[in-house]
Structure 1
Amino acid sequence: MELSASIFKAYDIRGVIDKTLDPSIAKLIGQSFGSAMREIGETVCVVGRDGRLSGPTLMAGLTEGLLSVGVDVIDLGVVATPMVYFGTNIKINGHQAKSGIMITGSHNPPDYNGFKMVLGSSAIYGEQIQALRERIIAKQFATGSGKRSEYDIFPEYLARIVGDVKLQRKIKIAVDCGNGVGGAFAGKLFRALGCEVEELFCEVDGTFPNHHPDPAHLENLQDLIKNLKNTDNEIGLAFDGDADRLGVVTKSGEVIFPDRQMMLFAKDVLGRNPGAQIIYDVKCTRNLATYIKQAGGEPLMWKTGHSLVKAKLKETGAPLAGEMSGHIFFKDRWYGFDDGLYTGARLLEILSGEKDLNATLEGLPNAICTPELQMPCAEGEPFVLLDKIKEKVAEGKSLGTNTLFPSSESINTIDGVRVEYADGFGLARPSNTTPIVVMRFEADSQTAIERIQAEFKQVFLGIKSDVKMPF
């Protein structure tokens, strides 16, 4: 198969099986990644895979590639993505592997698969991922002969969480894994923590026969909502295909989105780390910054993208970070990687001390907001459009004027354009994975949302008169 540039994404490598990805490509990726490891003195790599049907053959190709460049492979088998990350933070059979690869298509359709990578204790993204492609094209591979071994990491992972997280009472929960790989572990973990667990779609099945494993979309939470209404379960937890993201549903069917979950986590973490920075991405509610300040913390808004947030967490030493997509990163009592299962455990720990856990969740500050809106564009166009808008914003700032967004209070351009108003915000940013502009709006009233949207519409039409706005 010919190497396609399209599989090298911003945060990972991802493609369609037998179209852009097969075992021969996996072998090349193993050779390239293993050679990059050897350059920084690393010789041991942990690898795991999710429940997708293409996992075993991609694992074989990847392993062959890694071994051929002199890297020893510790095969964790079928695991959740966080377990590979965990494997790069502990000693396994006397080896400290600081690099790891997870074969996963995450929340993508069944015919997709890909690779999430940690190189020398750091998540790689952007130019580093492109460098892997360039190395393959140049065939700049190390030589050697590595050894392969197998390791069951779940008992150690389970013991580490159960030894750390303590619930004050038993909670009855429903868990929906959408037939993703988290289903092999979630029930065991939450029962070990003392919960009573009802499992929905926890049989690992790479065809995803019930609903898609992506809790960011409301249609995938309907089974969980229905369960909570018809049983005495108190709360619902949902996981994406590789269990690094968490969705939360209350007894009444209200979805507690990750930016509101972050309020509870921030308050808890700041109780032990007063004055600490808490990182969140540009998609999050403006209520989060207010909540962090009130809890004695310092809010820090950052770019969207799990690898980018992870890198910022490492750079700043912050004890907590989170994204609207559901990636939550605990450095407080944990290792700083995104882990939906551990996040679920920490949430239950907090809620087990509350008199009425649903009242606590539903009482978190809320606002009127739109779902994530997507404006389709030609390939590469989202970045061109947003760069033009950023240029005009910068021109206005240098002249001391703001003609683009006249009713705004401030404009943040770290990732697209986030415009803050007295009564809300509007966001437009280029997706790093597909040719779309992602938009989100929040305000104190529907009238305010419509006014903000009208301002955004005028700006985009002024840049390109035939753009198809998603509202």
Structure 2
Amino acid sequence: MSNPRDAHRHQHLVKAYDIRGVVPDEFDEAAARTIGAAFVALTGADRIAVARDMRGSSPALAEAFAEGVVSRGAQVLDAGLGSTDYLYYVSGTLDVPGAMFTASHNPARYNGIKLCKAGAVPIGDGTGLERIRAALASAPAPADGPRGSVLRVDLLARYAAHLRSLVDLGGIRPLKVVVDAGNGMAGLTVPEVLDHPWLDVVPLYFELDGTFPNHEADPMKPANVADLKARVRLEGADLGLAFDGDADRCFVVDERGESITPSQVTALIATRELARDPGASVVHNLITSQAVPELVAEAGGVPVRSRVGHSFVKALMAEHGAVFGGEHSGHYYFRDFWFADTGMLAALHVLAALGGQDRPLSELMARYTRYAASGEINIEVADPEAALSAVEAAYSGPGTEIDRLDGLTVRLGDGSWFNVRASNTEPVLRLNAEGPDPAAVRQLGDVLLALVRGVGLGAAA
């Protein structure tokens, strides 16, 4: 920016995978305008799609971004309110770059932008975000050509129809499903997508409200699915679905009000997709359960292991032509959806699998569970790399396998494994462990926590 103070405020706005910060301290309309102009230069496009979530700051930021685009002679396709996967649909079906204004599951004071190239191709560090970061740190060149325009487009009905065309719900039995939208964008998209005569949808927190008055829009945290679990039991529902703020992630609860892990969902969808495309590749990140690559191989597929993060998963999917990809965080990627992630399409697969047979969800999903897992444990550290080195030294003995594809992954002789990796945004290590039974996982977790604390580097967060 021309003002050095603006450059300083915006220097941490561009992350590894997207743009995100506190409004207006880190992210304001001036930054959005600059990013819009820079995005035209980056893509060379004459049309750019823009959508936004329900946050109070989203309309003004999206409008400022659009002004930046128009100032460089390009046309803005204003797709209005929608989920992130709706924006991917618009980008994919119209073959234009896209910008989604959202901070996903972050608190209300945050906002951000998820950018993609035409065809919903992801943009991250090394594929364009570094140019956006540079633009924010310098004075923008004056606009000297004809201005572009803004065209309003509404493709929400077409988005919903496209998703329903990919999963056949025609023969399902009647299902009651509780859906917790968390006051996020699923409150808009679920009524469109799950409009089916055999689905009895019980809405929970469907009112669009970017202040998140009921709970954080982050279903990875157990406290944020407590209401959903209670409502499933109260209603006697067949299952529950929870979406994050921008509705690109989906989490599942069975008829008992117990959580189904994203690894189980990944394995379920992978086997369904492999049934119609035998021998295809399936991408999974290295935090997903070992059951995932085992079940993929048993179904005749080729498991491909990835680093954590959508840009890595999508790149590997494109490289291998993978039919599907899943992450432990509830992101699910589909070849038939431009290799992009859509929690709504994952939800349709779960509904089709459950409704296509007579067993309850807990019994259906039992075959996709083989090991006990710790879940993600955050450990506060002063020096993440030193902590990783200490853990690696402690486990660099016979009977272990170590790799550093993403952080540190250690496989032990009894079949247990763990991964420790540094957060991109916080001074914490993220620990995930898996073993043959809960006792083995607890013991492994206790040893690792004691090791980190013993060298004076941190404590469990």
Q: RMSD in angstroms over aligned alpha carbons?
A: 2.2
Whole-angstrom distance in 2 between the partners of 1:151 and 1:352: 34
* Secondary structure of 1:84 counterpart: helix
Q: 1:428 aligns with which of 420, 437, 459?
A: 420
Equivalent positions of 1:452-463 (< 5 A) are: 452-453=444-445, 456=448, 460=452
Whole-angstrom distance in 1 between the partners of 2:425 and 2:39: 21
Stretch of structure 1 that moved more, 297-306 or 159-168: 159-168
Aligned to 2:86: 83
What letter matches 2:430 in structure 1? Answer: V
* Secondary structure of 1:191 counterpart: coil
* Secondary structure of 2:224 counterpart: helix
Aligned to 2:168: 166
How far did residue 454 of structure 1 move? 5.6
How far did residue 299 of structure 1 move? 1.5
How far did residue 150 of structure 1 move? 0.5
Aligned to 2:46: 43
Would the aligned equivalents of 1:229 and 1:253 in 2 still touch at CA under 8 Å?
yes
* Secondary structure of 2:37 counterpart: helix
Whole-angstrom distance in 2 between the partners of 1:164 and 1:287: 26
Would the aligned equivalents of 2:89 and 2:337 in 1 still touch at CA under 8 Å?
no
Equivalent positions of 1:409-424 (< 5 A) are: 409-421=400-412, 422-424=414-416
How far did residue 20 of structure 1 move? 0.6
How far did residue 15 of structure 1 move? 0.5
Whole-angstrom distance in 1 between the partners of 2:354 and 2:442: 36
Equivalent positions of 1:341-380 (< 5 A) are: 341-358=344-361, 359-378=363-382
What letter matches 2:375 in structure 1? Answer: P
The alpha-carbon distance between structure 1 residues 193 and 82, as it changes in their structure 2 partners (threshold 3 A), is farther
What letter matches 2:109 in structure 1? Answer: D
How far did residue 364 of structure 1 move? 2.6
How far did residue 187 of structure 1 move? 2.3
Whole-angstrom distance in 2 between the partners of 1:89 and 1:139: 32
Would the aligned equivalents of 1:46 and 1:76 in 2 still touch at CA under 8 Å?
yes
Equivalent positions of 1:299-338 (< 5 A) are: 299-331=303-335, 333-338=336-341
Whole-angstrom distance in 2 between the partners of 1:357 and 1:44: 47
TM-score by length of 2: 0.91
How far did residue 384 of structure 1 move? 5.9
**What do residues 183-217 of structure 1 show as CA deviations (whole Å, max 9, x unaligned)?**
11202311247411110001111111111111111
* Secondary structure of 1:2 counterpart: helix
Would the aligned equivalents of 2:34 and 2:140 in 1 still touch at CA under 8 Å?
no
Aligned to 1:441: 433
Which consecutive unaligned segments of at least 5 residues does structure 2 have? none
How far did residue 343 of structure 1 move? 1.3
Stretch of structure 1 that moved more, 121-130 or 257-266: 121-130
**What do residues 34-59 of structure 1 show as CA deviations (whole Å, max 9, x unaligned)?**
21112xxx221100000000011101
* Secondary structure of 2:294 counterpart: helix
* Secondary structure of 1:203 counterpart: coil
Stretch of structure 1 that moved more, 110-119 or 179-188: 179-188
Aligned to 2:61: 58
2:100 is the counterpart of 1:71: no
* Secondary structure of 1:109 counterpart: coil
How far did residue 140 of structure 1 move? 5.8
How far did residue 470 of structure 1 move? 2.1
Q: 2:192 aligns with which of 174, 184, 188?
A: 188
Which consecutive unaligned segments of at least 5 residues does structure 1 have? 394-402
How far did residue 363 of structure 1 move? 4.2
2:279 is the counterpart of 1:241: no
**What do residues 140-199 of structure 1 show as CA deviations (whole Å, max 9, x unaligned)?**
657542111100110111221233322122321111101001111202311247411110
**What do residues 270-326 of structure 1 show as CA deviations (whole Å, max 9, x unaligned)?**
112222221111211112121111111122211101222112211221111011000
**What do residues 322-377 of structure 1 show as CA deviations (whole Å, max 9, x unaligned)?**
1100010011x432111111211122122221221412024431432212111223
Stretch of structure 1 that moved more, 348-357 or 62-71: 348-357
Would the aligned equivalents of 1:187 and 1:199 in 2 still touch at CA under 8 Å?
no
* Secondary structure of 1:14 counterpart: strand
Whole-angstrom distance in 1 between the partners of 2:299 and 2:409: 24
Aligned to 1:398: none
**What do residues 384-437 of structure 1 show as CA deviations (whole Å, max 9, x unaligned)?**
654x469x67xxxxxxxxx63436442221100111123311110111232321
Whole-angstrom distance in 2 between the partners of 1:36 and 1:190: 37
Whole-angstrom distance in 2 between the partners of 1:334 and 1:349: 18
What letter matches 1:424 in structure 2? Answer: S
Whole-angstrom distance in 2 between the partners of 1:384 and 1:467: 8
2:130 is the counterpart of 1:130: yes
Would the aligned equivalents of 1:70 and 1:143 in 2 still touch at CA under 8 Å?
no
Would the aligned equivalents of 2:381 and 2:459 in 1 still touch at CA under 8 Å?
no
Aligned to 2:155: 153
**What do residues 72-110 of structure 1 show as CA deviations (whole Å, max 9, x unaligned)?**
10001111110111011113xxxx41x100000100001
Count of matched residue positions in the alignment of Structure 1 and Structure 2: 447
Aligned to 2:106: 108
How far did residue 256 of structure 1 move? 0.6
Would the aligned equivalents of 1:10 and 1:433 in 2 still touch at CA under 8 Å?
no
How far did residue 137 of structure 1 move? 2.5
Whole-angstrom distance in 1 between the partners of 2:368 and 2:79: 39
Aligned to 1:399: none
Would the aligned equivalents of 1:162 and 1:192 in 2 still touch at CA under 8 Å?
no
The alpha-carbon distance between structure 1 residues 364 and 7, as it changes in their structure 2 partners (threshold 3 A), is same
Whole-angstrom distance in 1 between the partners of 2:458 and 2:408: 18
Q: Percent identity?
A: 30
2:210 is the counterpart of 1:206: yes
The alpha-carbon distance between structure 1 residues 448 and 416, as it changes in their structure 2 partners (threshold 3 A), is same
Stretch of structure 1 that moved more, 352-361 or 221-230: 352-361
Whole-angstrom distance in 2 between the partners of 1:214 and 1:335: 25
Would the aligned equivalents of 2:403 and 2:410 in 1 still touch at CA under 8 Å?
yes
* Secondary structure of 1:216 counterpart: coil
Whole-angstrom distance in 1 between the partners of 2:238 and 2:416: 32
